[in-house]
């Protein structure tokens, strides 16, 4: 007989039920389940131990940040100190130059307008058209000038033929307007009135003569 079932249904009240029995097949299945459960628990415990060891290793390892800070705590050499001071000095100079340049540009933009200088000869237009022609020497001279914006304006016109021609045309036109208002201009010798000047006459004058004429008519 391979199986024997417990007879619990027919037990009368007050009597102790018989112990439950299992077939060999049931017993083998229960044993296998128990062994699998034990293996899973052992694997889980092993995995937990490995994770705990890994965590402890990470916590005890010096971080890159702390490694870096230990490097930063090392005293500076004289060469490193001089290098840092030189970098700071250059940064201060650049900051001071930027402030001086900005203030000079602001004043020049307010003074050198199209109304005062002529169409296309205002500060912004001249810089936009002529700045590309400035050499490194020009830039150094501008930086060292008392009024860097005006020096930049002057050099942009000087180095840009179309701007120079435009400025000359405006200057000639304005001188002729003043001549018309005055009728005649003083002679070069300073006595009396010489003659009426034309645009052709003015165009042949040197810079010095034009400056003198402009002062005479002002």
Could you tell me the pLDDT band of residue 214, with boundaries at 50, 70 and 90?
low
Q: What is residue 186's three-state secondary structure?
A: strand
pLDDT tens column, 149-164: 999 999 999 999 999 9
CA distance 188 to 9: 147
**Mean predicted lDDT score pLDDT of the chain:** 76
pLDDT at 98 over 60: yes
Residue 39: CB partners within 8 Å, gap ≥ 6? none
- The predicted pLDDT at position 10 comes to 47
pLDDT tens column, 73-90: 678 788 888 888 899 999
pLDDT tens column, 102-154: 999 999 999 999 999 999 999 999 999 999 999 999 999 999 999 999 999 99
Compute φ and ψ for 207, nearest 5 degrees. -60, -40
- The predicted pLDDT at position 119 comes to 92
Residue 6: CB partners within 8 Å, gap ≥ 6? 17, 18, 19, 20, 21
Axis-axis angle for helices 123-130, 161-182 (nearest 10): 150
Q: Where are the domains of the chain?
A: 27-55, 111-217
Two tokens at 108? 């020049």
Q: Where are the alpha helices (DSSP H) in 132-160?
A: 136-144, 148-158
Give me the half-sphere count of Cα atoms (radius 13 Å) on the Cβ side of residue 198. 2
Region of 23 on the Ramachandran plot (φ > 0 left; ψ -120 to 50 alpha; else beta): beta
Could you tell me the pLDDT band of residue 5, with boundaries at 50, 70 and 90?
very low
């Amino acid at each position: 007989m391979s199986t024997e079932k417990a007879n619990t249904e027919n037990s009368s009240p007050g009597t102790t039920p018989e112990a439950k029995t299992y077939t060999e097949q049931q017993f083998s299945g229960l044993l296998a389940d128990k062994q699998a459960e034990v293996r899973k628990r052992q694997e889980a415990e092993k995995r937990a131990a490995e994770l705990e060891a890994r965590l402890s290793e990470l916590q005890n390892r010096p971080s890159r940040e702390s490694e870096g800070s230990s490097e930063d705590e090392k005293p500076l050499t004289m060469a490193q100190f001089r290098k840092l001071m030189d970098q700071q000095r250059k940064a201060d100079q650049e900051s001071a130059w930027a402030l001086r340049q900005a203030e000079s540009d602001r004043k020049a933009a307010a003074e050198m307008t199209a109304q005062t200088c002529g169409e296309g000869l205002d500060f912004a237009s001249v810089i936009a058209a002529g700045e590309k022609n400035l050499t490194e020497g020009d830039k150094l001279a501008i930086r060292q000038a008392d009024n860097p914006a005006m020096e930049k304006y002057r050099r942009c016109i000087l180095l840009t033929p179309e701007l120079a021609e435009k400025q000359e045309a405006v200057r000639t036109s304005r001188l002729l307007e003043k001549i018309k208002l005055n009728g005649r201009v003083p002679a070069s010798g300073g006595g009396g009135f010489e003659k009426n000047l034309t645009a052709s006459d003015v165009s042949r004058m040197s810079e010095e003569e034009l400056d003198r004429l402009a002062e005479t008519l002002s």
